Each structure stands twice: as structure tokens, then as C-alpha cells.
Amino acid sequence: MSEPGEARRDPIRAAQAHMRPQPARRFYRTAGVTAESGRFVLSLDGRPARTPGRNALAAASRELMLKVAAEWERQRETIDPADMPLTRLMNSAIDGVARTMAETRADILRYAGADLLCYRAGEPDTLVARQAHAFDPVLRWAGESLGARFQVTAGIVHVAQPPEALAGVGAALAAHDDPIALAALSAMTTLTGSALLALAVAENFLTAETAWEAAHIDEDFEIERWGEDAQALARRAARRREFEAAAVVVAVTRGLQRAGP
């Protein structure tokens, strides 16, 4: 156990302690949503909330913003950013993705060029079968619905995908013209390692739960063989919260598209 004055005697430890961010105290009583200029804005004690970039924390969907407000409402004496995945995604979309739409689409397309679904295990047979059962229907869907027919290989050696396949994915990405929806699609892609799984959720071919399970077939297989690791499971749970928040966004986006003119 450290002695009371140890941190003061160790300048490095003292500096680290000083740099460690202090949790922000809850500074508002209530969180809600107000309509403003055709959009819905998070309000804290009746005042419009802003992103770290000082933009309005707002979206076209009242349903989505009510979910964001619920994140703020459930905070206690201090604000826990880890418990606010929708808010973090919104901040990223509004402050970042809105200015880099083309770059974000290009990043997702790079994932498609080395998509998780295209790299399979050669053995054991149990894992091979599980991957085929989960991955093959998504690849068929991509070929039929997006015109994107991908090549599959065993192992990790890179295989170049046909330009036509990547063009099909690119066309699908171009249809996502809302920064918040595109940020959600990007998040799902990076969290799973698969642009195809992300698009399958966005296009309502897969549920979010099914896509998440497909992305973790290899990991789950290793857990069955060697057991669980508590730290790894905690990291996975945190990533899943991020993924589920992104899936909420794409689901709301689909609803807005159906309700549109």
C-alpha cells in the first residue's frame, strides 16, 4: 500500500495524477428535446445543448434525440461518458463526419476491400461450418442486392476484390447522405471489421444481434476452447454498447426514409 505522501515524493506519479481527468459533475436538473428549425435539439434545463465543437446537438429524428436525452437523464451526480454511446456518436458525426463525408465513405470502402467475411479458417471443421453458416448468406445478399460479388479465401493472405464488388458497396454507401447515419455505419464497420455486416444491418437484412454474433464467431470459438478472459469480456461489452448505439441510429434512419416523400 502506498504511503500518504508517496505521490508527492514521486513527481512522475504526481504529474500523472494531475493529468487524470476528473469526472464532470451533473450540472443540469432535467434533459429533454425541443423542436428548432425543423430539427430536434437536446435541451438541458430548457437550454439547447452543444457538442464539444459548439454545434447544436440535434438530429432530424425526435425518436433519436429522445434516446440521447435519456442518456443524459440517467446520469447521477457525475457524468459517465462510457454510459452515453449515442451522445458520443452524435458528437463525432456532427463535429467530424459532417465535414468528411467522402473520406468516411472511403474508409468504410477500404474495410470492404479486406472484409472479415471473406477470410475464412481452413480448420477445424466446426469453425469452418460456423463461418459458412453466418457469412455465406450475407455474401449472397450483397451479390443480389448490391451487385457486389466478393471473393472468399482461406487464411489471412490478402485477396483483391473485383472492382465491380467495391463499386456496388460504394453505391450503397453513397445513399447514406446523413452524417449521423454515416457515422453509425462507420462505427459498426470498425467494431465488426466488416462493411458488409454493417450494410446488412443498415439495409435490414440482419438484426444487430445477428451481425454482432457473426463478427465474433472466431472469438467465441476460442472462448469455448480456452475459456473466458475477464478483461477481454469487459472490452467486448463496451464495444457492444457502441455497436448497439450505432444500430439504433441506422434503425431510426430507415424509419425516416420510409416516412419520407
Closest to 66 (Cα-Cα) out of 89, 87, 88, 47: 87
pLDDT computed for residue 18 by the predictor: 47
Q: Are 158 and 151 in contact (CB under 8 A)?
A: no
Each residue's pLDDT tens digit, 1-50: 444 444 445 555 544 444 456 789 999 999 999 999 899 999 999 999 99
How many CB atoms are located within 10 Å of the residue 104 CB?
22
Q: Are 36 and 11 in contact (CB under 8 A)?
A: no
Q: Are 8 and 14 in contact (CB under 8 A)?
A: yes
Each residue's pLDDT tens digit, 119-143: 999 999 999 999 999 999 999 999 9
Q: How confident is the model at residue 255 (pLDDT cuts 50, 70, 90)?
A: low
Which residues of the chain are in CATH 1.10.3580.10 domains? 98-259
Give the architecture (CATH level 2) of 1-81. 2-Layer Sandwich (3.30)
Each residue's pLDDT tens digit, 45-84: 999 999 999 999 999 999 999 999 999 999 999 999 999 9
Global pTM? 0.88
- Over residues 97-106, the mean pLDDT reads 97
| pLDDT above 50: residue 190 | yes
pLDDT computed for residue 10 by the predictor: 53
Q: What are 33's strand-pairing partners?
A: 42
Secondary-structure class of domain 98-259 per CATH: mainly alpha
Each residue's pLDDT tens digit, 225-246: 999 999 999 999 999 999 999 9
Which residues of the chain are in CATH 3.30.2180.10 domains? 1-81
What phi, psi does 23 have (nearest 5°)?
A: -65, 135
Decide the pairing of beta strands 153-154 and 119-120.
parallel
Alpha-carbon distance 120 to 32, whole Å? 47
pLDDT computed for residue 2 by the predictor: 46
Q: Name the residue type at position 222.
A: E
- Spell out a b/e string for 175-205, using b for 16 or more CB atoms within 10 Å of the CB, else e: ebebbbbbbbbbbbbbbbbbbbbbbbbbbeb
Lookup result for grid cell 454511446: 85
DSSP the chain: ---TTHHHH-HHHHHHHHHSPPPPBP--S-EEEEEETTEEEEEETTEE-B-TTS-B-EES-HHHHHHHHHHHHT--SB--GGG-HHHHHHHHHHHTGGG-HHHHHHHHHHHHHT-GGGEE----HHHHHHHHHHHHHHHHHIIIII------EESSS--PPPHHHHHHHHHHHHT---HHHHHHHHHHHHHHT-HHHHHHHHTTSS-HHHHHHHHTHHHHHHHHHH---HHHHHHHHHHHHHHHHHHHHHHHHHHHHHH--
pLDDT computed for residue 92 by the predictor: 97
Would you state the cell numbers that stand for residue 106, as one nine-digit string? 472511403
| pLDDT above 50: residue 250 | yes
